[in-house]
Copies of this chain bind each other. A is one copy, B any other.
Amino acid sequence: MRYAVLGTGVVGQTIAAKLASLGHEVVVGTRDPQSTLARTEPDGYGNPPFSQWLEAHEQVHLETFTEAAAWGEAVVNTTAGAGSVQALESAGSANLAGKVLIDIANPLDFSQGMPPSLNPVNTDSLGEQIQRTFPDVKVVKALNTMNCQIMVDPSRVPGEHTVFVSGNDTDAKKQVAELLASFGWSESSVIDLGDITTARGTEMLLPIWLRLWGAVGHADFNFHIAGA
């Protein structure tokens, strides 16, 4: 399968590397490849610059959002939530139409101080915004409730734990569930919450996730729905 992974941050890198390791063809999309490759400093979290990651993953290519989306058979959104709709508009609705779009982004809002709040929230969600803006895209919200290392290697967390799936298209959710299985998620660990409006629920896990990160002292934890 040809996957366009939009976003060059740690989540995008982690998903792109996993997809490539599973034999998929992967193009990472960014606003301006030249500018992305020109960065030589670590990012705000101390991660090495993208160019360094790309050198270590030579089967992955870097293109513009538009080129990546046009080429991909499926799209993964790992851009920062506050800029996701703009990034997808730059990818172009015609290049996204009819495709499954796995939305991993969270609409974190740093303008109200730390810890970040969410925008949109409560009566709307980023997943819904994307679905409304691109009605011909099959948006599936998934994997946005955990650290990216766990997304592609659930065995990092001991015991049973959960990955939530939200979306309007049953076949698209089935396709995402198969991808999750290839990442190591057991069938019973996947909970289909319903249509894309249920993305409000998973995005609204972020505030407690951020506090748990502090309380637990590491990011290798995940939500599990006991008794489900």
Set of chain B residues within 8 Å of A160, measured between Cβ atoms: 159, 226
Shortest CB-to-CB span from A198 to chain B, Å, is 5
A208–B193 CB distance below 8 A: yes
Q: A121-B121, A123-B117, A205-B205 are in contact. Are A211 and B194 (CB under 8 A)?
A: yes
- Given the interface pairs A121-B122, A200-B207, A204-B208, the reply to whether A215 lies near B194 with Cβ below 8 Å is yes
Q: Which of B193, B194, B222 contacts A226 (CB 8 A)?
A: B222
A212 within 8 A of partner (CB): yes
Known: A112-B123, A211-B193, A215-B194. A225 touches B223 (CB 8 A): yes
Inter-subunit contact B211/A157 (CB<8 Å): no
A83 at the interface (CB under 8 A from B): no
A227: contacting residue among B191, B193, B207, B222, CB under 8 A = B222
